Amino acid sequence: MAVNSPISPWWTPNRFADRKPFLEKRAAITNRLRAFFAENGFTEVETSVLQVSPGNETHLHAPRTEITGAGAAAATRYLRTSPEFSAKKLLAAGEQRIFEFARVFRDRERSDLHLTEFTMLEWYRAGEPYAGVMADAVTIVASAADAAGSRHFKFRGRTIDAFAEPEMLTVAAAFERFAGIDVLATIDGAEGDRPRLAAAAGKVVRITDDDTWSDIFAKVLVEHVEPNLGNGAMTLLYEYPTPEAALARTNPDDPRVAERFELYACGVELANGFGELTDADELRRRFGHAMDEKQRRYGERYPIDEDFLAATAAMPPASGVALGFDRLVMLAAGATAVDQVIWTPPQEN
């Protein structure tokens, strides 16, 4: 019986040579985007990796470590899941336009589109509406395509023209079009009405007794909406329902929705942006709710960074975006997995 030969390490010359064209395009894209930010008055920053709290979202999981001070006192620190907390402290300090190519870390995530350690490109504009960072995101994707010498992105049977006018689609319109659900009718104040959404979504997704409103929302989004996004052109999916606001502020004209958007290309989520919430009390409420749910599901909770809440109360109105840089390079370079476009892929057990 034939025995499969072990796969050689990524650093063997033949394997590395196969990936080198992708890496050269990565370098070209990095240089082009740095030039874009410089031309638009942004300052590149470097923020700390070790954090008191890695973020307070229910389904995000962060590696942790223990550090020992000069007095031998031990303290728990987390590897950041995003540079967001530190970036917003810089906004509170007076920075106006900043960006960072940040190394970030997330446990329990591994696939062709997910790595435990990856690069996130984040940028912020103080005193500017989130329409401005939405436009940035579209320009950045097109700039990456141009730097890589490719007009079209192709991935898993889907194709987009990276220079075409993006599709603008509200979450409410997407749920109606692709799932036949009036999702805003299931919002009561700022809360989701779970029985109402379950009744509307039961015909298109499988619902369990343990599913929350957010669980049902996510199932519809993943199974029926996302596969239809970013086909032919990029899609900007915006006005997320308030229960899914994360750290975005509520739309002042419609409290059922928040100033949050996501950008899709070829069915792949590339970016997530907010008109930033600066109400520290509301942030504390959202964090507490998310950590209660995390405790219920996973038996753990992360601390709240009180310094971050204090800085949030002092920061100006702002908008920001987190973009998965490895995913963008993968699409622009014509790769099929993010492993192919990073210089030193993870060592698998």
- What is the average per-residue pLDDT within 72-91? 92
Return the pLDDT at 152: 96
- What tokens appear for 148 in the block? 């890589």
**At 348, is the pLDDT very low, low, confident or very high (cuts 50, 70, 90)?**
low
Percent of the chain with pLDDT over 90: 85
The residues that bridge with 67 in the sheet, in sequence order, are 75
List the single range of 61-70, 99-108, 200-209, 258-267 with lowest mean pLDDT: 61-70
Return the pLDDT at 3: 52
- What tokens appear for 209 in the block? 């007794």
Q: Is it the case that residue 14 has pLDDT exceeding 70?
A: yes
Kindly report each contact of residues 188-194 with a partner whose C-beta sits within 8 Å and lies 24 or more positions away, as own/partner: 189/255, 190/242, 190/243, 190/250, 190/255, 190/256, 191/242, 191/243, 192/217, 192/241, 192/243
Return the pLDDT at 194: 95
Return the pLDDT at 72: 67
- What is the average per-residue pLDDT within 188-211? 93
Q: Is it the case that residue 208 has pLDDT exceeding 70?
A: yes
Model confidence pLDDT, tens digit, residues 223-258: 999 999 999 999 999 999 999 999 999 999 999 999
67 burial via Cβ count (<10 Å: 0-12, 13-18, 19+): exposed
Return the pLDDT at 151: 93
The residues that bridge with 121 in the sheet, in sequence order, are 101, 323
**At 8, is the pLDDT very low, low, confident or very high (cuts 50, 70, 90)?**
confident
Return the pLDDT at 98: 98
Q: Is it the case that residue 7 has pLDDT exceeding 60?
A: yes
Q: Read off the pTM.
A: 0.94
Return the pLDDT at 270: 97
Return the pLDDT at 4: 63
**At 201, is the pLDDT very low, low, confident or very high (cuts 50, 70, 90)?**
very high
Percent of the chain with pLDDT over 70: 97
Q: Is 202 helix (H, G, I), strand (E, B) or coil?
A: coil
DSSP per residue, 286-321: HHHHHHHHHHHHHS--PPP-HHHHHHHHHSPSEEEE
Average pLDDT, the chain: 93
List the single range of 105-114, 209-218, 327-336 with lowest mean pLDDT: 105-114
- What is the average per-residue pLDDT within 310-336? 97
Report all structural domains of the chain as residue ranges with CATH numbers, in order of start.
13-67+74-341 (3.30.930.10)
**At 190, is the pLDDT very low, low, confident or very high (cuts 50, 70, 90)?**
confident
Q: Is it the case that residue 317 has pLDDT exceeding 60?
A: yes
CA dihedral 86, 88, 90, 93 (to 10 degrees): -130
Return the pLDDT at 220: 97
